[in-house]
Structure 1
Amino acid sequence: MADDQVKGPASYFPSIEKKYGRPIADWQDLVRRSMPAKHMELVAMLKHDHGMGHGHANAIVAHVLAEDRT
């Protein structure tokens, strides 16, 4: 049986959408528009400018940076 459970940073996405009321695509676009910047600078931007918690901000940034590396 295949394990279809989402793992890694994307596992946070449903709770991020629920808590902050915006689709993940919006957050990903926001991060991409703020690049180039270092990982923690992007995390800080989401935390300070948008009130996001550290874990949620880190998950979005990590996912965007991983996607953009491929």
Structure 2
Amino acid sequence: MSEEKIKGPASYFPSIEKKYGQPISHWKDIVRAAQPAKHMELVAMLKDQHGMGHGHANAIVAHTLAEDKG
């Protein structure tokens, strides 16, 4: 039996939590509080205001927006 590998934006979540010391729910709350805004505006906000790297910020925004879209 092998574990199914996590794919897509969620694959970044363990390293995001480790590097920035907050659970993913914290970052998703920040993204949701900043809406309505465009995807790249939300990425820029995480980078500028929270010092997040582009890949990590993009993963959180993409996952949050997809989750909210249903």
Structure 2 CA distance for aligned equivalents of residues 27 and 9 of structure 1 = 13
Q: Percent identity?
A: 74
Scaled by the length of structure 2, the TM-score of the pair is 0.95
After TM superposition, the structure 1 = structure 2 runs for residues 1-70 of structure 1, keeping only pairs within 5 Å, are 4-70=4-70
Deviation string, structure 1 residues 24-43 (Cα, Å, up to 9, x no partner)? 00000000000000000000
Deviates more, 1:1-10 or 1:13-22: 1-10
Structure 2 CA distance for aligned equivalents of residues 39 and 2 of structure 1 = 35
Listed as ranges, the gaps of 5+ residues in structure 2 are none
Displacement over 6 Å in runs of 4+: none
Q: Offset of 1:5 from its aligned partner? A: 1.2
Q: Offset of 1:54 from its aligned partner? A: 0.2
Amino acid at match of 2:65: L
Scaled by the length of structure 1, the TM-score of the pair is 0.95
Deviation string, structure 1 residues 43-62 (Cα, Å, up to 9, x no partner)? 00000000000000000000
Count of matched residue pairs:
70
Listed as ranges, the gaps of 5+ residues in structure 1 are none
SS in 2 for 1:58: helix
